[in-house]
């Protein structure tokens, strides 16, 4: 695909979703939010990682590989060209000490392929997209990553990654693990210590939901198990 065709595709999708170039750049995790699309417009050749990040922000799929089985007529009618929007909030899930998420502003929504959401068993109305800050969840989650949190999955499954409101009211992201009547908050980065919450502290916490997708160019968050 030519660069001009790629830019036209991105622009058509962006306008269809009612997003600005800055919205797309922010969703893709870039500080200079509109620069990536503008660079492509000027003729710059984007890296494959940039194409993936922008595509994810726009709910487009990037595929390189052997031909995949075609959809049945029924599936094609149900899913072709369909996208769902997930609400996004100006909340940073801290991978470190914690950030307060009260009165968070709502940002432009993110678009996800309806077929992918269906296959993952996700309901867009029960999901939210938020950002990550801090380095304790490296290398799984990087500062600036966007994550999709399924609020319907607030039941605790050991070794899964969750967004949570901690005892001080801070919004955080950690792997959670039960240890008898206590709860362990584990980091991916080995330089960060594991934290423990007592039963009384656990009662003060709120599990927002399970992290089911991350846009670190992009990365699917998986359990260790």
Helical (H) or strand (E) element with 213: strand 206-214
Report the chain's mean pLDDT, rounded to a whole number. 81
CA distance 199 to 181: 6
Residues of the chain below pLDDT 50: 71, 76-80, 101, 217-220, 225
Contact 212, 122 (CB under 8 A): yes
Report pLDDT for 219: 44
How do 83-94 and 106-113 pair as beta strands? antiparallel
CA proximity to 26, closest of 118, 101, 112, 89: 89
CA distance 88 to 26: 11
Beta-bridge partners for 184: 177, 196
Report pLDDT for 173: 95
**Residue 219: DSSP 8-state:** B
Q: Print burial letters for 160-173: b (CB count within 10 Å at least 16), e (below 16).
A: bbbbbbbeeebbbb
Report pLDDT for 118: 83
CA distance 198 to 178: 11
CA distance 157 to 81: 34
67: left (phi over 0), alpha (psi -120 to 50) or beta: beta
Determine whether 222 is exposed, middle or buried from the number of CB atoms within 10 Å of its CB (0-12, 13-18, 19+).
exposed
CA distance 137 to 192: 9
CA proximity to 81, closest of 65, 56, 59, 63: 59
Report pLDDT for 166: 94
Contact 106, 152 (CB under 8 A): no
Q: Which two tokens stand for residue 28?
A: 């893709």
DSSP 186-199: E-SSTTSPPEEE-H
């Amino acid at each position: 695909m030519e660069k001009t065709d790629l830019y036209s595709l991105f622009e058509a999708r962006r306008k269809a979703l009612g997003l600005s170039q800055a919205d797309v750049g922010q969703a893709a995790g870039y500080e200079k939010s509109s620069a990536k699309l503008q660079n492509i417009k000027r003729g710059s050749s984007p890296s494959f990682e940039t194409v993936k990040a922008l595509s994810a922000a726009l709910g487009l799929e990037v595929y390189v590989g052997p031909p995949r089985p075609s959809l049945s007529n029924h599936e094609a009618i149900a899913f072709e060209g369909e996208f769902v929007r997930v609400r996004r909030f100006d909340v940073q899930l801290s991978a470190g000490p914690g950030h307060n998420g009260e009165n968070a502003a709502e940002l432009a929504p993110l678009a996800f392929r309806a077929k992918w959401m269906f296959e993952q068993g996700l309901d867009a109305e029960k999901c939210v997209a938020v950002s990550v800050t801090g380095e304790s969840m490296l290398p799984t989650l990087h500062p600036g990553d966007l994550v999709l949190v399924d609020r319907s999955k607030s039941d605790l499954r050991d070794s899964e990654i969750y967004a949570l409101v901690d005892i001080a009211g801070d919004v955080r992201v950690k792997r959670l693990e039960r240890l008898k009547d206590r709860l362990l908050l584990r980091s991916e980065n080995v330089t960060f210590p594991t934290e423990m919450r007592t039963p009384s502290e656990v009662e003060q916490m709120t599990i927002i939901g399970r992290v089911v997708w991350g846009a670190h160019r992009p990365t699917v968050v998986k359990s260790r198990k």
